[in-house]
Structure 1
């Protein structure tokens, strides 16, 4: 099956699921209008909406929009720093990460904490479009890459 045909099938499956759910709720036309505007959403907005939906926090959308406008109007200089760890951070680690981030960014920070066991350990920090990956998974990947390149074209002893 060609990729184009597979994409067409996926699109139809999504469409049918969306339409069926909208019909059950009596809002097929309203959902169509929303869907036509959805392509304008940034990936960050879509990710935030998905996270809010997963946490059953959709009722906070108006509050988030209002707070967003307030922060934008006040030109808040606080930098959002996303910190991913394999297990939840304790207060001591949270304080160290916050202090180090504020020092590096020369600005107050707001920590967004994520837990992702697949990083195995260590920390991944993202801020201002940059990413610092000090995870065990990244270190193992670098070791694997280094070892494999050492043996390519060379003789094993």
Structure 2
């Protein structure tokens, strides 16, 4: 059995071969390149959006800082109105007057002012009562509250010292 290929069949096979080569190049080379190009253009678009967002943040930074400073001043003004921080001289005067009113003589006083960057933290009272730390004890920070540490050496009668303790 012999197969006769006519001139027409040869031309069809040549055209079919050319179509297959073009189709193979398109599928194998051009489509992956087009997909890569699309991915890169999406990444470029995302990067440009991110760049614009960051530029807007940089531009708005001075305004934000100004608003933050103003808010901080406003907060301090409000806190001073409701929660004034006593100066060490005022604490000294108050405690000395209290001691004198109770009939006690103050021999020595030491006042340590608080660190105004950290709020007061009070320990768990059950720890103070039992003298040990309980399993689920935690210290609680009180926003806006500062405490000064005061040490006083006083002399006087037992009743006067007890009156001072009762007052304070």
Fold conserved between structures, TM > 0.5:
no
- TM-score between both structures, scaled by the size of structure 2: 0.21
Pick the structure with greater CA Rg: 2
- Report which structure shows greater RCO (CA 8 Å, sep ≥6): 2
Bigger proportion of residues as strand: 1
